[in-house]
Structure 1
């Protein structure tokens, strides 16, 4: 007669019962099936251990040990098909996880110890408070990275390019430096790598605020957060020459432009400033002097007609400056200075340049 043994382990007494009675008891030893591990989740972790791994499989009842390689792990038997274990510390590399029960020891299933990521640099290492810019992180151990943080703030997004490089979108933050960290299955990087949040530059003034369309004149820009300026623009045109004097001052050579007002901006890693205005002026033109002559003793009021006279800074009779009053863009009045009899050239000077001159004749006193 054949019979199937029930589950169990150890020695038990067996008897056979038939219609005519029960036979003598016999000692029979039951043998359990060996455990089988189907999966370990997660199947990797830090070399420092301490993370929880879940083993799923069969025949886990009565488990007596769980080992990661040759090292025993603390564990909790959840059911006949599941055990949770705390991974012990081990060097980087792959080991076999096994479980032992009264039925035997399972075949191993791989578990990989991963070294913590090492972060060596962030490029660029600075940017605006608003974030949103993309930076490149270099180092080692980035495979499987699960998060990138700038201080306490998680990156808006990130992408693992290779085990030694990833890109990240910088979150809002600052101002000032924050620590950048990468977290991967091997743990979180601990190197002191900083990213600096910069306030956007602010422009308060441009002095002088006007000049000739040909450019070439020097101006002073004042404001705040002007260090590390990457561009100074007059309208859409970048100044090719500028000097950062301090966080509050830049000196720039004005590029050529068209007559009219343009916005001036400064761009730094912190962003682009709001604008102040700069005025490009054409060279003034004078078309008439009334009267065109006067006594050599001076004192005659002369009306100068022309174009672009609003911003006059000087009226010259030859090389001699004369007092003047701007009436409009097309007219100003001046007082002729004294001088030797004869013709002199009258010119008007503005930030846009010096006009072509017109003759003014000084008359000597009448002869006797």
Structure 2
């Protein structure tokens, strides 16, 4: 039975021999004296071919692709030899020459990157010499998915899947040179980030934990690269967070083996904003409760009156926070709130000296009340109450040193008059209620 196109050559012959084959070309027309070069032979009458010879030596790996094309692997040899094809019709007679030459084997000096994922698919660049006529690139025993000869000293190749450390080799007509090491590595894994939140402005430093960080080339917060990063070890990286939009962002690490997947979430937090405080002042001794209003207050980590932390604070909601004022010095200070998103704008708060009373005039009034009394003292401007004993009186602040109050009714006898301001309560001065004379 005659071999059909696209089948290996066999020694079978046909009783119906046709005309002898002709050979018109061989490509490439030369190769290494060591043999092993793949060649394509073109001509006519190749169907049923039983042998391909380079001089007197049979080629190996011969395949009849069609009646006009055969592929074969050149055997070892020297000098210039005639390439012939034999079929049942005879042996070709055309003088088609194939030249043997001493072609140096290719050399490889470097590969970049030096490692990649076990799944392959990444592109590596090989550097060396004698690479122009490369016919194959292999990672260990596995052919590259594809390769491109860039120049005589550079080849780019797409790595196949693999494991462990393998030798990359390049085959040319001069043979396959010494290999260069390439490591298959597992993808990096980012498992933790601390702290796990920060300001939308970025700039804070976080610590990433995981595996496979050696040789990391990037740290990504979402799609944005970290401002900078340092590989501390194969399991830890420190990175400076870039700016981002409020909300979660997945943190991932890119290494020679590839990029980690499903990294830990890092939350971008808006900076807090303060719009008001009530009351806006308090005593030097502190201890009073101030209610702060604004936005993004729910995750407050600190409240400060100037440089002093509040005695305590409670985030009631994202827009409301209560804080116990610490002791302070007379005058104005500024309140700020800090969260993971940063520190708020400052708002003013006043520390007030407690009021004093030195006199009340007149010093007595009727049991029925309604008498006008002038109070003299200091720090009276922000008076919020005038007390005759425990009873509140109507009053008018005349100046920081004078108040006019209307005495309330009461029982006969002395009563202490005091003034209340955000700075505290004054010591009391005596005022007497006197019953009217009887007739």
Which TM bucket (shorter chain)? 0.7 to 0.9
Aligned equivalent of 1:22? none
Secondary structure, aligned partner of 2:162: coil
Q: For the residues of structure 1 that align with 2:223 and 2:192, how far apart are their CA atoms?
A: 18
Aligned equivalent of 1:141? 212
Secondary structure, aligned partner of 1:299: coil
| Alignment match of 1:246 (pick from 310, 317, 333) | 317
Q: For the residues of structure 1 that align with 2:249 and 2:165, how far apart are their CA atoms?
A: 35
| Alignment match of 1:76 (pick from 141, 145, 148) | 148
Aligned equivalent of 2:332? 261
Which deviates the most, 172-181 or 264-273?
A: 172-181
Q: For the residues of structure 1 that align with 2:204 and 2:101, how far apart are their CA atoms?
A: 68
Aligned equivalent of 2:79? 12
Give the unaligned 5+ runs of structure 2: 1-29, 34-76, 82-97
Count, aligned residues: 350
Secondary structure, aligned partner of 1:328: coil
Aligned equivalent of 1:114? 185
Does residue 1:283 correspond to 2:325, yes or no?
no
Give the unaligned 5+ runs of structure 1: 1-5, 15-26
Q: For the residues of structure 1 that align with 2:152 and 2:201, how far apart are their CA atoms?
A: 53
| Alignment match of 2:394 (pick from 323, 341, 345) | 323
CA-to-aligned-CA distance 1:109-142 (integer Å, 9 cap, x gap): 1111222211111111111111111111111111
Question: Deviation of residue 55 (structure 1)?
Answer: 2.7
Q: For the residues of structure 2 that align with 1:34 and 1:339, how far apart are their CA atoms?
A: 118
Q: How does 1:37-76 map to 2 (within 5 A)?
A: 37-60=108-131, 62-73=133-144, 74-76=146-148
Does residue 1:123 correspond to 2:194, yes or no?
yes
Secondary structure, aligned partner of 1:130: coil
Task: Tell me how large the CA RMSD over aligned residues is.
Answer: 2.3
Does residue 1:170 correspond to 2:241, yes or no?
yes
Q: How does 1:129-208 map to 2 (within 5 A)?
A: 129-208=200-279
Q: For the residues of structure 2 that align with 1:180 and 1:105, how far apart are their CA atoms?
A: 43
Secondary structure, aligned partner of 2:210: strand
Aligned equivalent of 1:350? 421
Q: For the residues of structure 1 that align with 2:151 and 2:330, how far apart are their CA atoms?
A: 85
Does residue 1:87 correspond to 2:159, yes or no?
yes
Q: For the residues of structure 2 that align with 1:327 and 1:364, how far apart are their CA atoms?
A: 29
Partners of 1:35 and 1:105 within 8 A in 2: yes
Which deviates the most, 264-273 or 93-102?
A: 93-102
Q: For the residues of structure 1 that align with 2:262 and 2:304, how far apart are their CA atoms?
A: 39
Q: For the residues of structure 2 that align with 1:314 and 1:126, how far apart are their CA atoms?
A: 47
CA-to-aligned-CA distance 1:131-164 (integer Å, 9 cap, x gap): 1111111111111111112122211111111111
Q: For the residues of structure 2 that align with 1:80 and 1:219, how far apart are their CA atoms?
A: 77
Question: Deviation of residue 193 (structure 1)?
Answer: 1.9
Does residue 1:271 correspond to 2:342, yes or no?
yes
Secondary structure, aligned partner of 1:323: strand
Partners of 1:174 and 1:196 within 8 A in 2: no
Q: For the residues of structure 2 that align with 1:99 and 1:314, how far apart are their CA atoms?
A: 95
| Higher relative contact order (Cα pairs below 8 Å, separated by 6+ residues) | 1
TM-score (norm 1): 0.88
Residues 54 and 367 of structure 1: CA distance in aligned 2, closer, same or farther (over 3 Å): closer
Q: For the residues of structure 1 that align with 2:100 and 2:410, how far apart are their CA atoms?
A: 137
Partners of 1:217 and 1:253 within 8 A in 2: yes
